[in-house]
Structure 1
Amino acid sequence: MEGSKILRNAKLIKDNSNTQKRHYVRHKTHAEENVPLRFELFILDDGQQKIEVREETKVPNTTVFTFNKEDHTLGNLISQRLLKYDYITFSAYKVPHPLFATFELRVTTDGSITPKDAVVRCCKDVIQDLSKVSMSFQGEWLNQKIIEEGQRDAEVRDQGNY
């Protein structure tokens, strides 16, 4: 290569004015090249369903739900919440491949309710709990804002600059 040398991860380039400039070139590792683009982690493909349901024939009252474009966060939340119900005998999830945002949730009930109804009820309860957390957070945020404004007003009054 005429007029240039490669030093570690930097290219040393000579131009016409005899000055040297360094351009840092970052090479992707093999693992980084296989990582899907960020938007592929949450946007469904054409014709892809968010949840696919497959009845398990070997174990009675068992269904496997495949959640597309979701990760451990939702998988763990639903799986652990399902275990709190008395009619659930088994609930667990697995991520088939770490690079794909998909998890499989296996649910077994005692037969008093279908696994699908159990998951629907669980999701409704989780949404209700998250709404309560959101309202509580917003209330605390507003209270903190009011307290800060009150403290600023008190400081201004104490300085006599009102």
Structure 2
Amino acid sequence: MNAPARHESYVLEDGEKPVELIEDTKIPNAATIKIVKQDHTLGNMLRAQLLSMPQILFAGYKVPHPLHPYFIIKIQTDGTVTPQEILEQACTKLIGTLSSLETKFRREFSYKDMESSGAGAVTSHVEDPYGTNSGAWGRGREYLDF
């Protein structure tokens, strides 16, 4: 049909740049960044990470058309750092957050494997991550308590 081949949405072609920075001449300390072969998943995570940083005055993204595999993110800083530097910092923090999340998931699933293997003595001190058996909801704990 009209949709491009699936691999065209994610595989960079020879010589294609994954990131293109365009400095904004009308707004101080601002830039527009085009990130190719990505979609809402990365765009929303980057925007959220940027907005959590104190140097950011504005961060927003858009996907101009669903059939074109890129998004545009606009960043404005307070002038202490450039938009390019703050984007690099946000990417580094996001990678660290995702790495930490992966470690926590692997740990929780290893606990689940120990429980299902029949080790009765192990299950008595293993914390239930979902709070279904231990009454964790009543103790004011968050879901999965990151």
Is TM-score (shorter-chain normalized) higher than 0.5? yes
**Percent sequence identity over aligned pairs:** 37
The equivalent position to 1:136 in structure 2, one of 92, 104, 111, is 104
Matching of residues 100-111 of structure 1 within 5 Å: 100-111=68-79
Q: Identify which of 43, 49, 52 aligns with 2:20.
A: 52
Match of 2:62 in 1: 94
State the shift of 1:103 in Å: 0.2
Unmatched tracts of structure 2, length 5 or more: 121-146
CA distance in 1, matches of 2:76, 2:5: 35
What aligned pairs does 1:1-162 form with structure 2 within 5 A after superposition?
33-150=1-118
Larger-Rg structure: 1
Question: Which structure's residues are more often strand, by fraction?
Answer: 1
RMSD of equivalent CA atoms: 1.2
What is the CA–CA distance in structure 2 between the aligned matches of 1:144 and 1:71, rounded to whole Å? 33
Per-residue deviation, 1:151 = 5.5
Distance 2:117 2:62 in 1: 48
Number of residue-to-residue matches in the alignment: 120
The alignment's TM-score, normalised by the length of structure 1, stands at 0.72
Give TM-score scaled by structure 2 length.
Answer: 0.79
Task: Identify the structure with bigger relative contact order (alpha carbons < 8 Å, sequence gap 6+).
Answer: 2
Q: Deviations over 1:92-126 (max 9, x none)?
A: 00111110110000000010111111000000000
